[in-house]
């Protein structure tokens, strides 16, 4: 493949391409290679046990022991089994021969398929991914693995990536998951005619017969159902029992739920959680319409659903319409086994069927009259752990199977092999034209006879065929032929008796009588022959009668291992087998000297306490394994230890340096104040703020107190210096008052208008008027904000006496204007020269009546003192207190009478508006 093409491929294409390329090198075919890979896989599982269990704890809240118990131990067993038996599984498998193939080699040769795609699910992610992988490796395949995205989203990707993967060509797809996706997988596989294994699910029924020990049955059902929070493909989905048993079944299940998971399963480490909120919601919806007998507690945020039992569930209830895959256990009542069988058969074929009964006949009958992927009597789930049983579904629950040799076979192509020689053409003549009745008779004989010959029998038959061939050629249709054949058979059958072979030939002999022919027998036995294993390489030739003796020593003869390990192999392979492979061979461990069988030795390897090993922490130390534990825990400089203070883990030799910087390291206050719990990271703050002996400034430092004393003496200082602090504070108040005044002035400056118009609103008018009227002396003058006659012009202010002053006092509203000291006075013409107008605005609605404002206008009297230039430096307003108050404003003491004011809407919402306008000549405005 050229580099450019490879780079332009998708991630999935690349993975498959890489696997295929590796497969085509042929290296996965050698048994040694397969065994090494399996052993590597075993080591990986053992080394990563902790991480594997931790991952599942996070996903499913599986307890730490749950994962080894239900997943990885089983995988270890599967690998050991494959390693032990691979040679036998992968060897050619001789099959029975017919007369037609008696002299041929006929066998099945398992061969690798190529690249297998394994798609796993999330509920037992290791069992359903690595399990098939073991079969794939053992069978000599390459494999691409796609675990469920629930577990490793970053590594694997989700549906899109899987679908991309499915576009590739595989030699087998092994899918575990739900049936809907199963159909997608099959459809994709069909494009390349890829064989597919589908490990699906379904509703696995559990029939509890009235004839059984209910306490034990319910204990086993409760275990099988609530394990992994019910998320087990073969969990009992629902119970079928007779109505009279229902209450007792519920009571027993309830008792066991409590025994396994305590009164409060939320706190029990052995009780798991639902994988995600989507499934949580799905399960909660399944409860609709059913009666909860036990449990039902739930918490969505924690994905928790307690072990729940539903009673009197009807077949059409929601919970009975799909695989539950969660901790809900419906009970349906049936009249007995007949109805249970009918109920099961009316539904899709389940992945598992559970029957609890003490009646063996009933168990056998239920097995005979139903169908399911697997069946277990008087227990749940346990068939999954029996490697010799095929594990898989049927119909809707899947197709194909695995575990042990079944996985090997499923992922191998079992190739039929027939190897003939270009000889014995005379025998073959019976199939060549011209076809005759005699030839057909012989063909019938050769085709229909299936025999299992021992080696000697085979040889005899061969002799028979030689004779047959000779005769059929010379006298194909004569008496002579029949006689010769009969004689030959007599010799043959005599020999059979002698060898005690089980050959039972029922050859059609045209009803002729058979008689012994000693001479012919001798002739046959004296024939020079080659060893029956000559094709395999045996060079032995001698008289026929010596064959038996030869075979007992022939290197090419198949023999059973004398250790009774059940392996059959060529005699010449025996020494090698007995020395290296035999599971029952005796071995001494070089390290501890103990004796083991081969099988036990394999398990002993890697764990022998006397073997010298390097420290796993890579500290370089070497020691016997026996002391490794002690070394790792208490001596190894590379062992990990948690810091006593911050609890983070460090290598032993970096712990010391860490503690010199650890932020949680306990420290003493340098002032020796004795405060406990100070750490390196809090020390600075403590010394600065918390330490009782640290020198601190007086709290009145902002007011000007310079006193400094230990924190503990602050109280005394505060008592002693009350006077000083008060006078400092009054200074602060005065300063702030001045600042406030300054600020107010600045605000007024900014808010006052600069276009010669003031619109001034006086609120609460009647209250103010009332207030002044009730006073015995003095009047109330209200001041407008200051405003400017124009930009850079005169600074002015209007004042009003609500109750009047001078001649208007008590009867009128008086209005005046004042010239205030302003910023630009030095630039202006003096005395103030511009015409001034006052208006009291009529607030009537202009849409209803034309407003009639009261307006008075005057030209300033140039002799009036207040129209002269104000004293420089006297900036401010009258209210600011900086203006000479003797400088009276100019205006109208009788601007408008109180009576007049009431007539129209001069007062509205208790407010009046006074408008003042300064007529500045245009020339000034333009300048
Ligand atoms: N027979 C068994 O051995 C076995 C084991 C475990 C689970 N199950 C069954 O699996 C089901 C639960 O698993 P799940 O299906 O929820 O697991 P899941 O969601 O993990 O899906 C299974 C696999 O299918 C892939 N997938 C999902 N949608 C896909 C799509 N549209 N195209 C291609 N691939 C897609 C996922 O990536 C995943 O690898 C249950 O029915 C259970 O009984 C069966
Ligand atoms: C005598 C002590 C033996 C303990 C052995 C326990 C083995 C338990 C086997 C449980 C099987 C778990 C089912 C896993 C199914 C995975 C596929 C489906 O979801």
Among the candidates 200, 221, 240, a domain finishes at 200
Mean of pLDDT values over 38-44 = 96
Contact 72, 88 (CB under 8 A): no
According to DSSP, the β-strands at 558-560 and 541-543 are unpaired
The band of 476, judged by pLDDT with boundaries at 50, 70 and 90, is very low
Q: Is residue 249 part of a domain?
A: yes
Residue with CA nearest ligand 1 atom 24: 177
pLDDT at 360 over 60: yes
159 lines ligand 1 (CB under 6 A): yes
Q: What residue ranges in 589-679 does DSSP mark as E strands?
A: 595-597, 612-614, 622-624, 640-642, 649-651
Distance CA 465, CA 459 (A): 10
Ligand 2 center from residue 70 Cα (angstroms): 4
The band of 465, judged by pLDDT with boundaries at 50, 70 and 90, is low
Based on the fold, state whether residues 847 and 817 are members of the same structural domain.
yes
Distance CA 760, CA 538 (A): 131
Contact 357, 209 (CB under 8 A): yes
CA dihedral 340, 345, 350, 354 (to 10 degrees): 30
The model's pLDDT over 782-808, given as tens digits with 9 standing for 90+, comes to: 999 999 999 999 999 999 999 998 899
Top mutation candidate among 237, 384, 398 for ligand 2, by most atoms within 8 Å of CB: 384
Cα-Cα end-to-end distance for the chain:
90
Q: What is the largest CA-CA distance in the chain?
A: 177
Distance CA 313, CA 326 (A): 17
Model ipTM over 0.95? no
What is the DSSP track for 256-287? Answer: HHHHHH-S-GGG-TT----S-HHHHHHHHHHT
Residue with CA nearest ligand 2 atom 18: 233
The band of 497, judged by pLDDT with boundaries at 50, 70 and 90, is very low
Contact 201, 183 (CB under 8 A): no
pLDDT at 711 over 50: yes
Smallest-distance ligand from the CA of 181: 1
Least confident window among 106-110, 160-164, 246-250, 348-352:
160-164
174 lines ligand 1 (CB under 6 A): no
Q: What is the CATH number of the domain that holds 47?
A: 3.40.605.10
Distance CA 428, CA 417 (A): 19
The model's pLDDT over 313-331, given as tens digits with 9 standing for 90+, comes to: 999 999 999 999 999 999 9
pLDDT greater at residue 307 or residue 158:
307
Q: Is residue 701 part of a domain?
A: no
Question: What b/e string do you get for 488-497 counting C-beta neighbours within 10 Å, with b at 16 or more?
Answer: bbbbbeebbe
Q: Which residues pair with 352 in a beta bridge?
A: 374
402 lines ligand 2 (CB under 6 A): no
Distance CA 305, CA 300 (A): 8
The model's pLDDT over 759-778, given as tens digits with 9 standing for 90+, comes to: 999 999 999 898 888 877 66
- Residue written as token pair 């809900």: 328
Least confident window among 522-531, 808-817, 821-830:
522-531
pLDDT at 482 over 60: no
Among the candidates 200, 221, 256, a domain finishes at 200
Based on the fold, state whether residues 376 and 272 are members of the same structural domain.
yes
Based on the fold, state whether residues 178 and 222 are members of the same structural domain.
no
Q: CA nearest 399: which of 558, 174, 192, 213?
A: 174
pLDDT at 744 over 90: no
- What is the residue-averaged pLDDT of the chain? 87
Based on the fold, state whether residues 193 and 332 are members of the same structural domain.
no
Q: CA nearest 464: which of 524, 528, 527?
A: 524
Distance CA 516, CA 536 (A): 34
Give me the pLDDT at residue 617, please.
Answer: 85
Question: What b/e string do you get for 880-901 counting C-beta neighbours within 10 Å, with b at 16 or more?
Answer: bebbeeebebbbbbbbbebeeb
The model's pLDDT over 719-741, given as tens digits with 9 standing for 90+, comes to: 999 999 999 999 999 999 999 98
Among the candidates 385, 404, 438, a domain finishes at 385
Q: Is residue 497 part of a domain?
A: no
| CA-only gyration radius of the chain, Å | 54
Q: Which residues pair with 836 in a beta bridge?
A: 858, 918
Give me the pLDDT at residue 875, please.
Answer: 43
Number of the ligand 2 atom closest to the C-alpha atom of 124: 16
Based on the fold, state whether residues 190 and 219 are members of the same structural domain.
no
The band of 425, judged by pLDDT with boundaries at 50, 70 and 90, is confident
Q: Considering the chain, what percentage of its residues have pLDDT values greater than 90?
A: 61
Based on the fold, state whether residues 81 and 104 are members of the same structural domain.
yes
At 674, which helix (H) or strand (E)? none
150 lines ligand 1 (CB under 6 A): yes
pLDDT greater at residue 516 or residue 405:
405
Mean of pLDDT values over 336-347 = 98
The band of 536, judged by pLDDT with boundaries at 50, 70 and 90, is confident
Top mutation candidate among 63, 68, 74 for ligand 2, by most atoms within 8 Å of CB: 74
- Residue written as token pair 């599986």: 62
Residue with CA nearest ligand 2 atom 17: 233
Distance CA 889, CA 880 (A): 16
Ligand 2 center from residue 218 Cα (angstroms): 17
Number of the ligand 1 atom closest to the C-alpha atom of 373: 1
Q: Exactly one of 12, 71, 78, 199 is catalytic; name it.
A: 199
- Residue written as token pair 């420089």: 872
Based on the fold, state whether residues 861 and 892 are members of the same structural domain.
yes
* DSSP classification of residue 589: -
The model's pLDDT over 892-921, given as tens digits with 9 standing for 90+, comes to: 999 999 999 998 899 999 999 999 999 987
In the chain, % helix, strand, coil (3-state, to 5) comes to 45, 20, 40
37 lines ligand 2 (CB under 6 A): no
Ligand 2 center from residue 72 Cα (angstroms): 10
Based on the fold, state whether residues 261 and 169 are members of the same structural domain.
no
Count Cβ atoms below 10 Å from residue 155 Cβ, excluding itself.
Answer: 9
Residue with CA nearest ligand 2 atom 4: 69
Q: Is residue 913 part of a domain?
A: yes
868 lines ligand 2 (CB under 6 A): no
Angle, CA of 875, 878 and 882, to the nearest 5°: 45
Distance CA 494, CA 64 (A): 69
Give me the pLDDT at residue 477, please.
Answer: 40
Give me the pLDDT at residue 158, please.
Answer: 64
Based on the fold, state whether residues 218 and 311 are members of the same structural domain.
yes
According to DSSP, the β-strands at 812-820 and 795-801 are antiparallel
pLDDT at 282 over 50: yes
Q: What is the CATH number of the domain that holds 228?
A: 3.40.309.10
Distance CA 546, CA 107 (A): 27
Smallest-distance ligand from the CA of 183: 1
At 570, which helix (H) or strand (E)? strand 568-570
Mean of pLDDT values over 203-222 = 98
CA dihedral 600, 605, 606, 609 (to 10 degrees): 80
Top mutation candidate among 70, 158, 178 for ligand 1, by most atoms within 8 Å of CB: 178
Q: Is residue 617 part of a domain?
A: no
Contact 239, 331 (CB under 8 A): yes
Q: Which domain holds residue 378?
A: 205-385
Q: CA nearest 610: which of 641, 630, 636, 589?
A: 589
Spatial neighbors of 361 by CB under 8 A, at least 6 apart, are none
Q: Is residue 118 part of a domain?
A: yes
According to DSSP, the β-strands at 912-919 and 352-356 are unpaired
Residue 677, phi-psi category: left (phi > 0), alpha (psi -120 to 50), beta (remainder): left
Q: Is residue 694 part of a domain?
A: no
Distance CA 564, CA 473 (A): 48
Phi and psi at 586, nearest 5°, equal -95, 135
Q: Is 199 a residue of the active site?
A: yes
Based on the fold, state whether residues 16 and 64 are members of the same structural domain.
yes
Cα–Cα distance list, 464 to 477, 523, 525, 546 (Å): 18, 12, 12, 18
Q: CA nearest 177: which of 154, 150, 195?
A: 150
Based on the fold, state whether residues 259 and 154 are members of the same structural domain.
no
- Residue written as token pair 């899918």: 175
Based on the fold, state whether residues 119 and 196 are members of the same structural domain.
yes
Q: CA nearest 772: which of 780, 784, 763?
A: 780
Ligand 2 center from residue 71 Cα (angstroms): 7
Residue with CA nearest ligand 2 atom 10: 70
Q: Is residue 135 part of a domain?
A: yes
Mean of pLDDT values over 557-580 = 88
Q: What six digits make up the tokens of 339?
A: 């109805």
Count Cβ atoms below 10 Å from residue 869 Cβ, excluding itself.
Answer: 16
Q: What six digits make up the tokens of 714?
A: 């602050």
Provide the number of structural domains found in the chain. 3
Q: What is the CATH number of the domain that holds 813?
A: 2.60.210.10
Give me the pLDDT at residue 605, please.
Answer: 87
């Amino acid at each position: 493949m050229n580099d450019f093409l490879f780079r332009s491929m998708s991630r999935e294409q690349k993975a498959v391409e890489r696997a295929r390329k590796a497969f085509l090198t042929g290296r996965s075919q050698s048994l040694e290679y397969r065994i090494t890979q399996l052993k590597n896989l075993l080591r990986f599982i053992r080394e990563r046990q902790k991480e594997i269990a931790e991952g599942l704890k996070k996903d499913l809240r599986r307890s730490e022991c749950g994962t080894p118990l239900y997943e990885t131990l089983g995988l270890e067993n599967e690998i050991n089994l494959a390693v032990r038996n691979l040679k036998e599984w992968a060897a050619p498998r001789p099959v029975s021969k017919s007369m037609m193939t008696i002299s041929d080699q006929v066998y099945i040769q398992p061969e690798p398929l190529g690249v297998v795609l394994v798609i796993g699910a999330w509920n037992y992610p290791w069992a359903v991914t690595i399990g098939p992988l073991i079969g794939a490796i053992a069978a000599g395949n390459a494999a691409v693995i796609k675990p469920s995205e629930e577990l490793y989203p970053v590594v694997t990707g989700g549906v899109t990536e899987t679908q991309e993967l499915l576009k590739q060509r595989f030699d087998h797809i092994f899918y575990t998951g739900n049936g809907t996706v199963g159909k997608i997988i099959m459809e994709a596989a069909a494009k390349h005619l890829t064989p597919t294994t589908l490990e699906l699910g379904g509703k696995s029924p559990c029939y509890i017969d009235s004839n059984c020990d209910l306490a034990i049955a319910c204990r086993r059902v409760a275990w099988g159902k609530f394990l992994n929070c019910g998320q087990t493909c073969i969990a009992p989905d629902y119970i079928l029992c007779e109505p009279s048993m229902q209450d007792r079944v519920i009571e027993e299940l309830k008792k066991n739920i409590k025994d396994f998971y305590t009164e409060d399963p939320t706190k029990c480490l052995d009780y798991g959680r639902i994988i995600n909120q989507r499934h949580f919601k799905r399960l909660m919806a399944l409860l609709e319409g059913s009666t909860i007998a036990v449990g039902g507690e739930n918490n969505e945020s924690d994905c928790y659903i307690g072990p729940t039992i539903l009673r009197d569930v009807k077949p059409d209830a929601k919970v009975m319409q799909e695989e539950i895959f969660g901790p809900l256990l419906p009970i349906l009542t049936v009249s007995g086994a007949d109805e249970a069988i009918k109920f099961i058969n009316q539904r899709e074929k389940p992945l598992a069927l559970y029957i609890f009964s003490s009646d063996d006949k009933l168990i056998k009958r239920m097995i005979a009259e139903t169908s399911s992927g697997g069946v277990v009597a008087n227990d749940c789930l346990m068939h999954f752990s029996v490697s010799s049983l095929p594990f898989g579904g049927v119909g809707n629950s899947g197709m194909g199977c695995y575990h042990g040799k079944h996985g090997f076979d499923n992922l191998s192509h079992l190739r039929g092999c027939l190897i003939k020689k270009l000889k014995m053409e005379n025998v073959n003549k019976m199939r060549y034209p011209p076809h005759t009745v005699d030839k057909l008779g012989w063909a019938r004989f050769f085709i229909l006879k299936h025999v299992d010959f021992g080696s000697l029998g085979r040889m005899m038959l061969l002799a028979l065929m030689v004779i047959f061939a000779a005769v059929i050629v010379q006298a194909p249709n004569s008496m002579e032929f029949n006689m010769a054949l009969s004689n030959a058979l007599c010799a043959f059958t005599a020999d059979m008796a002698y060898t005690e072979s089980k050959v039972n030939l029922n050859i059609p002999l045209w009803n002729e009588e058979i008689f012994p022919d000693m001479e012919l027998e001798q002739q046959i036995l004296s024939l020079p022959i080659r060893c029956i294993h000559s094709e395999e390489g045996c060079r032995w030739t001698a008289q026929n009668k010596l064959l038996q003796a030869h075979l007992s020593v022939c290197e090419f003869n198949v023999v059973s291992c004398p250790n009774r390990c059940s392996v059959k192999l060529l005699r010449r392979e025996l020494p090698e087998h007995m020395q290296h492979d035999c599971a029952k061979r005796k071995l001494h461990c070089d390290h501890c000297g103990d004796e083991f069988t081969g099988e036990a030795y394999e398990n002993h390897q890697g764990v022998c306490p006397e073997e010298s090993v390097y420290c796993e922490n890579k500290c370089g130390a070497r020691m016997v394994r026996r002391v490794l534990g002690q070394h790792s825990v208490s001596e190894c400089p590379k062992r990990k230890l948690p810091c006593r203070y911050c609890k983070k883990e460090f290598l032993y030799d970096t712990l010391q340096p860490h503690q010199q910087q650890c932020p949680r390291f306990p420290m003493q206050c340098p002032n020796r104040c004795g405060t406990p719990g100070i750490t390196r990271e809090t020390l600075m703050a403590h010394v600065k703020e918390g330490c009782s002996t640290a020198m601190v400034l007086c709290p009145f430092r902002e007011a000007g107190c310079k006193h400094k004393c230990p924190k503990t003496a602050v109280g005394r200082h505060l008592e002693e210096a009350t006077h000083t602090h008060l006078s400092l504070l009054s200074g602060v108040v005065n300063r702030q008052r001045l600042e406030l005044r300054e600020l107010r002035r600045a605000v007024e400056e900014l808010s006052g208008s600069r276009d010669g118009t003031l619109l001034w609103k006086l609120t609460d008018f009647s209250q103010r008027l009332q207030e002044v009227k009730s006073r015995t002396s003095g009047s109330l003058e209200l001041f407008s904000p200051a405003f400017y006659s124009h930009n850079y012009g005169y600074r002015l202010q209007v004042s009003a006496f609500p109750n009047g002053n001078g001649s208007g006092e008590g009867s009128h509203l008086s209005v005046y204007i004042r010239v205030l000291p302003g910023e630009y006075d030095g630039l202006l013409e003096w005395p103030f020269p511009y015409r001034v107008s006052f208006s009291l605005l009529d607030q009537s609605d202009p849409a209803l009546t034309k407003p009639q404002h009261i307006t008075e206008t005057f030209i300033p009297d140039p002799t009036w003192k207040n129209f002269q230039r104000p004293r420089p430096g006297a900036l401010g307003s009258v209210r600011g207190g900086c203006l000479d108050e003797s400088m009276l404003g100019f205006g109208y003491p009788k601007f408008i009478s109180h009576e007049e004011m009431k007539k129209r809407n001069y007062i509205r919402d208790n407010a009046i508006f006074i408008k003042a306008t300064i007529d500045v000549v245009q020339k000034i405005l333009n300048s």
